């Protein structure tokens, strides 16, 4: 070994050992914590104007800084990709959700290897890297057990990942909870389980374990919340705190937040509230019979933010006890603004509307008010509350008005920040976070990865702004695009173009806003400054070509989700057998076989005297179906996103059996089904409408119903209800796809 720096003699006494120096972070390098919210509006933290109790987030702002002109990509996967790479989202293949690959470079749903992540960079510099919560930066087809794992969190720089891969999940029954690359073997969650608490508690646990091993190694902790993304679900004790707080309604609450923002100096005193969205009625024009239900939606949402704040308090106390709070950078922000998808009245089963089903009658919604916010609901608030969340801006998540792209931003770093409690108005963007953190930590970006040049970050460090209130903004311009909505900001001017979803794209419907005089984008100046508008539109087009934004795609989510390769489509036409003893299948492994199409499910099992339990289950409280044996009878229950049907049961003899569900999709999301026991039917075809589609969280279980139950009453009686006999297999045979 001629390159060995030591000496290798014949004996140990004649030899000189040598050990390579271990990579260490720069002396005094700070810990880094990013607490990233999901779909939280600009005004939702108390320190940004809300009535929600967020004392710990407010305290973070008091020992740090608030930024009132921070912007983001207005959708979760793109924002998170930009956060983690310092690059514009389209330029790293994440112009839309990672759920699908549309077949175009800017929309692959996957960050390329040469887009080096923050986790990869700081780990190479000697940091421990930990992530808990929501990833949503790997294409769904690649998140299944057989998928390639090169874009999973632990392959993109995180030493430890605890969370889920998809874009949303149940807060009480998260599907496919995993540690690193391994699905955790969980049959039942504790009755008081809640994801928000788990993400924070596990993050603290992993830091404790790090400190037991190393007293000085700095860490990067990324707590990526799924709060407050739908489904809106909160713990009873938290929700009780907000009972009655929103009875005044969204019209008054928006005005109150606006006044509070002006009073605290967060926004200029002459800031005007933009005209309400046409889909938001005045509170006084709503039906009084519905107002308690509407208010309960926002009580649920507020309770979720309150819970996050409690976890912030626990984390900060832990860091104080470690003696490391002063040397820890903490960033608190959101991936995008509040949503409009709940419609005028909101919904208790968001997954139904998410799947294109009509809104439930209000009398049915009112009858379920006791479920709202709990584990039996999968709700989303009315659009009026989304507008309140985004005060003082117009539009919502997925749109490029301020309500989608402007969110609250708090940074705390006691060792460095001296202007405690101040508000910064310099323009910064999500891509600026990574270069700023590397700057503060004294870490150089990685320039080469796997023998190839790494992409250079688009972001710019705003360290100077942390130090000096008069420092210039690090950037003067930024493009935005989401779902064909466009915008371009340059030196105080904003051009934006908002599209109507599912309609032909209007390339010329731009508006123009001078943000120096009009903080809330309330006034359109396109007629007065047509030259400026032309300049910004041309700048957008140039940036769009450079960042792989084109082609613009305004199709609805059903059309976009249908973008699959021929290989995936062919695989969805092949029967599959699912075996007992395996974990819950990924929904992407079962849903293509049954989604709005005809199918047959065959279950072979052995029944002894007294055997009971679930033979198979697909889905969760939002929707699905389950076949089970109870009290000597075979039962089948269909949960069509809240429209439930239980077929008459079969009496069972002991012995070997085959239970078959035949389902026929009739078009227009209607369907019918029948159950055969050993070839015999109990009743004929029964309407089982609507057909199931993408909007369930869980795949198929064989021999029990893990985690989120399809049939709540059965769960109350038996929990996961493992079958005490023997299930040989469950075979799913896809048939014709529905037409119309």
> What are the percentages of helix, strand and coil residues in the chain, rounded to 5?
30, 25, 50
Write down the pLDDT at residue 562. Answer: 82
Kindly state the average pLDDT of the residues 147-155: 96
Does position 569 have pLDDT exceeding 90, yes or no? no
pLDDT for 695? 86
In this structure, CATH architecture of domain 479-558: 2-Layer Sandwich (3.30)
Reply yes or no on domain 31-472 having CATH 3.40.720.10: yes
Is residue 354 scored above 80 in pLDDT?
Answer: no
**Residues 641 and 689: beta-carbon distance below 8 Å:** no
Give the Cβ contact number of residue 320 at 10 Å.
Answer: 12
CATH 2.60.120.200 fits 566-737, yes or no: yes
DSSP 8-class letter at 396: -
What does pTM read for this prediction? 0.97
Task: Tell me the per-residue pLDDT of 201-251, one tens digit each, with 9 for 90 and over.
Answer: 999 999 999 999 999 999 999 999 999 999 999 999 999 999 999 999 999
Kindly list the domain boundaries of the chain, sorted by start residue: 31-472, 479-558, 566-737
Per-residue pLDDT reduced to its tens digit, 91-140: 999 999 999 889 999 999 999 999 999 999 999 999 999 999 999 999 99
Per-residue model confidence as pLDDT tens digits over 37-49:
999 999 999 999 9
Please return the burial class of 569, using the count of CB atoms within 10 Å of its CB with bins 0-12, 13-18 and 19+: exposed
pLDDT > 70 in the chain, percent:
100
DSSP collapsed to 3 states, 121-180: HHHHCCCEEEEEEECCCCCHHHCCCCCCCCCCHHHCCCCEEEEECCCCCCCCCCCCCEEC
**Dist. CA 535–CA 515, nearest whole Å:** 16
Reduced to 3 states (helix: H, G, I; strand: E, B; else coil), residue 325 is coil
Q: pLDDT tens digits for 237-250?
A: 999 999 999 999 99
Which residue, among 294, 507, 510, has the nearest Cα to 387 in the 3D structure?
294
Q: Residue 1 above 70 pLDDT? A: no
Q: What CA–CA distance (Å, rounded) separates 308 from 310?
A: 5
What's the rounded mean pLDDT across residues 188-195?
97
Question: Residue 626: beta bridge partners?
Answer: 617, 637
Q: How sure is the predictor about 559, in pLDDT bands with cuts at 50, 70 and 90? A: confident
Residues 673-703 pLDDT 10s: 999 999 999 899 999 999 998 889 999 999 9
Query: What are the counts of helices (DSSP H) followed by strands (DSSP E) for the chain?
Result: 18, 30
pLDDT at 525 over 70: yes
Residue 355 has pLDDT above 90, yes or no: no
């Amino acid at each position: 070994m001629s390159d060995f720096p030591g000496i290798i003699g014949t004996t140990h006494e004649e030899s000189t050992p040598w050990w390579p120096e271990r990579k260490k972070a720069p002396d005094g390098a700070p810990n880094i914590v990013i607490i990233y919210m999901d779909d939280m509006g600009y005004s939702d933290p108390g320190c940004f104007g809300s009535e929600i109790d967020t004392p710990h987030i407010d305290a973070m702002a008091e020992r740090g800084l608030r930024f009132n002109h921070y912007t983001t990509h207005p959708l979760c996967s793109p924002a998170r990709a930009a956060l983690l790479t310092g690059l514009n989202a389209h330029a790293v293949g994440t112009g839309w959700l990672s759920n699908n690959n549309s077949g175009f470079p800017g929309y692959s749903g996957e960050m390329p290897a040469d887009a080096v992540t923050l986790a990869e960079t700081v780990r190479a510099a000697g940091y421990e890297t930990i992530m808990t919560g929501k990833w949503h930066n790997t294409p769904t087809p690649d998140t299944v057990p057989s998928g390639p794992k090169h874009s999973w969190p632990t392959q993109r720089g995180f030493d430890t990942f605890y969370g889920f891969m998809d874009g949303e999940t149940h807060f009480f029954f998260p599907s496919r909870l995993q540690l690193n690359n391994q699905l955790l073997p969980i049959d039942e969650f504790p009755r008081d389980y809640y994801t928000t608490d788990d993400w924070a508690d596990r993050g603290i646990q992993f830091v404790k374990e790090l400190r037991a091993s190393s007293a000085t190694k700095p860490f990067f902790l990324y707590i990526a919340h799924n709060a407050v993304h739908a489904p809106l679900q909160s713990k009873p004790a938290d929700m009780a705190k907000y009972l009655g707080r929103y009875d005044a309604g969204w019209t008054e609450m928006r005005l109150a937040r606006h006044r509070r923002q002006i009073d605290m100096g967060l926004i200029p005193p002459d800031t005007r509230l933009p005209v309400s969205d046409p889909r938001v009625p005045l509170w006084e024009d709503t039906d009084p019979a519905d107002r308690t239900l509407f208010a309960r939606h926002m009580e649920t949402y507020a309770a979720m933010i309150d819970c996050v704040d409690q976890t912030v308090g626990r984390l900060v106390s832990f860091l104080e006890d470690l003696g490391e709070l002063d040397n820890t950078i903490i960033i608190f922000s959101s991936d995008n603004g509040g949503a409009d998808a709940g419609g005028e009245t909101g919904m208790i089963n968001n997954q139904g509307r998410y799947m294109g089903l009509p809104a439930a009658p209000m009398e049915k919604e009112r009858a379920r008010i006791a479920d709202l916010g709990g584990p039996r609901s999968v709700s989303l608030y009315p659009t009026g509350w989304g507008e309140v969340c985004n005060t003082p801006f117009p539009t919502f998540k997925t749109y490029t008005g301020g309500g989608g792209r402007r969110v609250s931003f708090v940074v705390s770093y006691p060792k460095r920040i001296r202007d405690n409690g101040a508000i910064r108005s310099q323009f910064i963007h999500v891509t600026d976070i990574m270069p700023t953190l590397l700057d503060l930590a004294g870490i150089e970006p990685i320039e080469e990865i796997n023998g190839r040049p790494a992409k250079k970050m688009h972001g710019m460090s705003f360290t100077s702004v942390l130090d000096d209130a008069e420092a210039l903004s690090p950037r003067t311009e930024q493009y935005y695009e989401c779902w064909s909505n466009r915008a371009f900001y340059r030196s105080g001017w904003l051009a934006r173009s908002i599209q109507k979803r599912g309609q032909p794209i209007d390339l010329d419907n731009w508006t123009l806003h001078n943000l120096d005089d009009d903080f809330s984008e309330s006034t359109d100046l396109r007629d007065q400054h047509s030259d400026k508008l032309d300049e910004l539109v041309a700048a957008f087009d140039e940036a769009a070509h450079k960042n792989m934004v084109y082609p613009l795609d305004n199709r609805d989510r059903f059309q976009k989700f249908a973008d699959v390769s021929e290989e995936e489509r062919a695989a969805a036409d092949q029967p599959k057998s699912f075996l007992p003893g395996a974990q819950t299948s990924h929904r992407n492994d079962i849903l293509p076989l049954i989604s709005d199409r005809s199918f047959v499910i065959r279950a072979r099992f052995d029944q002894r005297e007294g055997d009971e339990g679930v033979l198979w289950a697909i889905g969760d409280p939002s929707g699905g179906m389950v076949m089970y044996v109870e009290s000597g009878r075979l039962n089948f229950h269909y949960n069509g996103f809240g429209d439930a049907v239980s077929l008459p049961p079969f009496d069972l003899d002991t012995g070997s059996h085959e239970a078959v569900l035949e389902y026929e999709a009739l078009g227009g999301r209607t369907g019918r089904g029948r159950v055969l026991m050993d070839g015999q039917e109990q009743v004929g075809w029964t309407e089982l409408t609507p057909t199931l589609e993408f909007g369930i969280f869980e795949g198929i279980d064989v021999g029990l119903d893990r985690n989120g139950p399809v049939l709540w009453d059965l769960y109350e009686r038996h929990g996961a209800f493992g079958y005490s006999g023997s299930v040989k297999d469950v075979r799913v045979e896809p048939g014709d796809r529905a037409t119309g």
